[in-house]
Structure 1
């Protein structure tokens, strides 16, 4: 187990280094207050005479964020939170406080808001296709999906029966039978011929701040490079929950269309809609991957509490396609 886990974030040596990082960037802080500490990341609120900012560090598996957000701030400064300082080697990221998020403002139940979130996030993806991202990130291509699933099934099903990360044997068997269908999903997505690009992979109303008529995105710890339509997975799931909408609710299809529109110059909207269920299923693998990275450095107690999550996301491939889309392939 890595020595860089959540336990480190309360150590005196780490906190002294954190204070030095902050001081070098914005001056001696009046206060550095912990506002969130999870097994995968920790965040502190920094108060100085000049104002408020936030400093963050991720677990080792997610330690690309400081480098990535610093790069995004150069490539698309109007779409991400301003970076005050970044130390990629230690994955320390200091960002400005832009005020309340969409969730804080109570706008997570508004259809127009969700349409803006997915549309502007897709616009960011398009910008990054044009410029490229140099930060090293995990890459999940559609053509590798069935191999990724087979490897994950083999690894998780082979764990000891008392290991909280273990995949149930029956679920493992059903996923093995699903591999041809996963290949079919990959073919559907690849037929669109969309470019791989950045997928936020944790896009919800709590990670978006409205500012002067624009939306600013943050919290890129789960990010990776993949098919762009997978970026719609979590917004659609979150929107359904907030709207209390059934799977076939036209409001969800409207949100999905808002995200697809950004790609309609590369593929016709009917083709994008038809492939969306497959893309959302493959998008679930991005969640498996980010949770795998987080679980790797958890303490035994944290694994006992959360170690099952990667297997749960993997098993969700056996569920119906996510909301906002119509099934296009038979299931096993």
Structure 2
């Protein structure tokens, strides 16, 4: 089955189910049960039971079809940070991972700010370990110095779509974003001046994508959205989700505590004062990683799926006009 057919149109077919069962059988034995956990335009997940053992199988849409290869690589580089990989077929982007039980969210731990501190710190520690290998992970690279070019290109591309295209960026928003380009350039320069190395950004790191292993360590999963970029940009999703889950206003002390704990991991490479000063700008650049992953997903959606999700890249792009979880970065420009 070619990568062009890896979409929601085939994930519910008998042909694909047979292919999936063959993949599982080769790794674990013939499955007794294969249950659909979720089929979305960007990926599908199944809970598999084979020889009394529970695991999860996954495949992504073509734009995100790097996860199996990435997870196999991370299993060698940072096995202590991710869920155990039982099998990975990079050519077909079929992934099989161990079931470690409820997520941190399901355990009710996401209401504790300390949980978010640990999620952010663990992610930063993993990023430090991946600084060297990051260039060989085969992911989209979003360096801070290219931010203004990325935004300008995205605005031009999305604003030029027909008026009835759900992906279109509204003209009035395009005008505001174009006026914001000098500020975006300043954000990129401020972050670039820290001279932090590029590394892996999970790009969807929150309490529903983290589980607790038997030894108490936290393990992340769901890396289909991953990119390579400035490490501080990787704090955007966990800080935004912590703000939402904890019901906090921007720049709340608990959010600063989470951020400061993660910044400490990089404090030997840049002055902590400079890291804190640049963080709001870095968080804005983190929004671009979300634009990119949605762009990859929307590319192969059906017209019906685009009607529901097609606006996501434009919405994420427009969020550059909003304050970050740590306050407004616009003043930095």
Aligned-pair CA distance for 1:325? 4.7
- Residue 268 of structure 1 is matched in structure 2 by 271
- Structure 1, unaligned stretches of length 5 or more? none
- Residue 189 of structure 1 is matched in structure 2 by 191
Aligned-pair CA distance for 1:329? 2.3
Is the deviation greater in 45-54 or in 286-295? Answer: 45-54
Alignment of 1:10 with 2:12, yes or no, is yes
State TM-score, norm by structure 2: 0.96
Q: 1:274, 1:328 within 8 Å by CA — same for their partners in 2? A: no
Give the alignment partner of residue 248 of structure 1, picking from 243, 248, 251: 251
Give the alignment partner of residue 225 of structure 1, picking from 223, 228, 239: 228
Is the deviation greater in 7-16 or in 218-227? Answer: 7-16
Map Cα deviations across residues 43-93 of structure 1 (whole Å, 9 max, x no partner): 000011231000000000000000000100010111111111000000000
Cα distance in structure 2, aligned partners of 1:201 and 1:132: 14
Within a 5 Å distance, the mapping from 1:55-204 to structure 2 comes to: 55-132=57-134, 134-204=136-206
- Structure 2, unaligned stretches of length 5 or more? none
Aligned-pair CA distance for 1:213? 2.3
Aligned-pair CA distance for 1:248? 2.8
Q: 1:276, 1:325 within 8 Å by CA — same for their partners in 2? A: no
Map Cα deviations across residues 110-162 of structure 1 (whole Å, 9 max, x no partner): 11110000000000000001444523110001111111111111110010000
Could you say what secondary structure the match of 2:79 adopts? Answer: coil
Could you say what secondary structure the match of 2:200 adopts? Answer: strand
Aligned-pair CA distance for 1:225? 0.2
Cα distance in structure 1, aligned partners of 2:78 and 2:160: 43
Is the deviation greater in 206-215 or in 186-195? Answer: 206-215
- Residue 280 of structure 1 is matched in structure 2 by 283
CA-based RMSD: 1.4
- Residue 312 of structure 2 is matched in structure 1 by 309
CA distance 1:33–1:134, change in 2 (3 Å) = same
Map Cα deviations across residues 271-322 of structure 1 (whole Å, 9 max, x no partner): 10000010000110000000000000101100000100100000111112x1
Could you say what secondary structure the match of 2:80 adopts? Answer: coil
CA distance 1:201–1:182, change in 2 (3 Å) = same
Alignment of 1:290 with 2:293, yes or no, is yes
Cα distance in structure 2, aligned partners of 1:261 and 1:185: 21
Aligned residues: 330
CA distance 1:94–1:191, change in 2 (3 Å) = same
Cα distance in structure 2, aligned partners of 1:324 and 1:244: 14
Cα distance in structure 2, aligned partners of 1:152 and 1:242: 30
Q: 1:71, 1:133 within 8 Å by CA — same for their partners in 2? A: no
